[in-house]
Structure 1
């Protein structure tokens, strides 16, 4: 489980940072209570610097290299999004995968279209915390699932998505559901639809999904990451399996400052509607108010 793995990684980083703090305190001749502030500072600073270095490398490697206010806004937003998602949300997931239904409005006694949220690579359901709350407030029953195992073929996630769709339908009585996927989650939705059809689909929204793959790395040791390599055979076969009617159900949101999936302007599919955003990174797509508003608009 990703949550357990993340907790172990971060506790290890805090421990190593604390050791560096103890070493630094000794170098400055501090001990006991006087050394505590420096030890705590180093314990916190090491994980922050590691996170900052990861974001920095990804932002500099991506094709959105042009300096300017939007690039710096994307850089800062992605760093804060990574801290929030990878530190405050995902390590504490419980993976209950329960349907969250809002109170029925008295004037209609009906819910809006139910929404299934599907996360991306090396993430879990907690990446959707902010989006799920917004959808719930707007009257949508919501189910955010955790795809497991972490490293397997994207096709292997189709049964989990099928189960979640049935769970939403049974909990709400709805005939169709909307599916929202971030990054790899959009591909998992398309892979599910290849095997199960679109009869249960109201619409599909993808955020930062590598529909054409990503050039962040030319190879990968994991099956699902290998399938997301730029123009991989798996992606080409997936595209060949889709009909014009299927594509009309899809709405693609991409950010021109994506630091993980790039080049972004190529992440389109013939027949699917595309909306471009600027000034935000890959993870920030799950948090930004503009994206949440976009999703609500497409659902309504």
Structure 2
């Protein structure tokens, strides 16, 4: 087990399929007071403070989107407090809850939930845009919001940690994500994330990176869920898209799919993307250029 393995194991053991709220509340005066945040259930440390307001140094709120079978409290227990300590207003949500667990419902419906949540965050903070950091499905699902639900005007950065942008041929890997061994046919989002699904064909048809959004993808060669790991990568111009393989810059890093959401090396690229115009510059991020 590597040095981050103990932390990751604790959070995986703490995982629960039970989350309060359905995420279907609409923007309203009560949302502006932060009531929509409590409906999401327990947040990760540092997130969902209704009194946080973006400042001049950190004008864009950050929305953390968990992956399939994940809750926000578990998925972002490490990154969320780090972002808050750096001065960002951090928000997160639970979504896509079905009898198969969190983030398992149809991805189109989950994107609608994300749209409502972001509208509420913008109303609460007075910001014009948000930046999104997502893990696995959480890095891919926001692309549906951006492409089909008007999100291109409301998102500054989309940063995906091992996102399932083109799906996976590793059905066994998806099975390993469940602690119950449940039938994956009951998980609509799982079937939609299989390579070649109708959902992914629609999502990736034409422009994969629409709008004036900056797209950063951080993948790991050790990914056993998104297979091949390069299926995470997006097409687009270098000034808009950065496709980063973690081991190109940290050769001794053996982190895999679940662990990347807790990995300080991966966070290096997240922080760089958030702090600069455009996507992450990996050489700048690791200090190879000034």
Q: Same fold (TM over 0.5)?
A: yes
Query: What is the TM-score of this pair, normalised by structure 1?
Result: 0.66
Contact 2:167 2:231 in 1 (8 A): no
Paired residues for 1:209-220 under 5 Å: 209-217=163-171, 220=184
2:59 alignment counterpart: 112
Note the C-alpha offset of 1:146: 0.5
Contact 1:180 1:205 in 2 (8 A): yes
Contact 1:206 1:253 in 2 (8 A): yes
Note the C-alpha offset of 1:232: 2.1
Answering whether residue 107 of structure 2 is matched by residue 154 of structure 1, we say: yes
Alignment partners' CA distance in 2, 1:120 and 1:174: 25
- Residues 58-85 of structure 1 deviation map (CA, whole Å, 9 limit, x = unaligned): xxxxxxxxxxxxxx74xx75x5354222
Paired residues for 1:232-251 under 5 Å: 232-240=197-205, 242=207, 245-246=210-211, 249-251=214-216
Query: What is the TM-score of this pair, normalised by structure 2?
Result: 0.69
2:12 alignment counterpart: 86
Secondary structure at 1:120 match in 2: coil
Alignment partners' CA distance in 2, 1:262 and 1:153: 21
Equivalent pairs, count: 224
2:285 alignment counterpart: none
- Residues 194-239 of structure 1 deviation map (CA, whole Å, 9 limit, x = unaligned): 2222000111001111112112228941221111112323212101
Q: Per the alignment, do residues 158 and 241 of structure 1 end up closer, same or farther by CA in structure 2, a change over 3 Å counting?
A: farther
Answering whether residue 53 of structure 2 is matched by residue 100 of structure 1, we say: no
Structure 2: runs of 5 or more not aligned: 21-39, 175-183, 248-253, 276-290
Answering whether residue 250 of structure 2 is matched by residue 287 of structure 1, we say: no
Contact 1:101 1:141 in 2 (8 A): no
Note the C-alpha offset of 1:172: 1.6
Alignment partners' CA distance in 2, 1:139 and 1:89: 28
Note the C-alpha offset of 1:241: 5.2
- The runs of at least 4 consecutive aligned structure 1 residues that moved more than 4 Å come to 89-94, 101-105
Based on CA coordinates, which of the two structures has the bigger radius of gyration?
1
Note the C-alpha offset of 1:112: 3.5
CA-based RMSD: 2.8
1:168 alignment counterpart: 121
Q: Per the alignment, do residues 179 and 236 of structure 1 end up closer, same or farther by CA in structure 2, a change over 3 Å counting?
A: same
1:193 alignment counterpart: 146
Note the C-alpha offset of 1:136: 0.6
Alignment partners' CA distance in 1, 2:210 and 2:110: 23
Contact 1:179 1:203 in 2 (8 A): yes
The structure with more helix, counted as a fraction of residues = 1
2:156 alignment counterpart: 202
1:134 alignment counterpart: 82
Contact 2:66 2:137 in 1 (8 A): yes
Note the C-alpha offset of 1:176: 0.5
Alignment partners' CA distance in 1, 2:65 and 2:198: 23
Contact 2:66 2:135 in 1 (8 A): yes
Contact 2:171 2:194 in 1 (8 A): yes
Secondary structure at 2:211 match in 1: helix
Contact 2:19 2:94 in 1 (8 A): no
Secondary structure at 2:142 match in 1: helix
Alignment partners' CA distance in 1, 2:67 and 2:53: 31
Say which is worse superposed, 154-163 or 188-197, in terms of deviation: 188-197
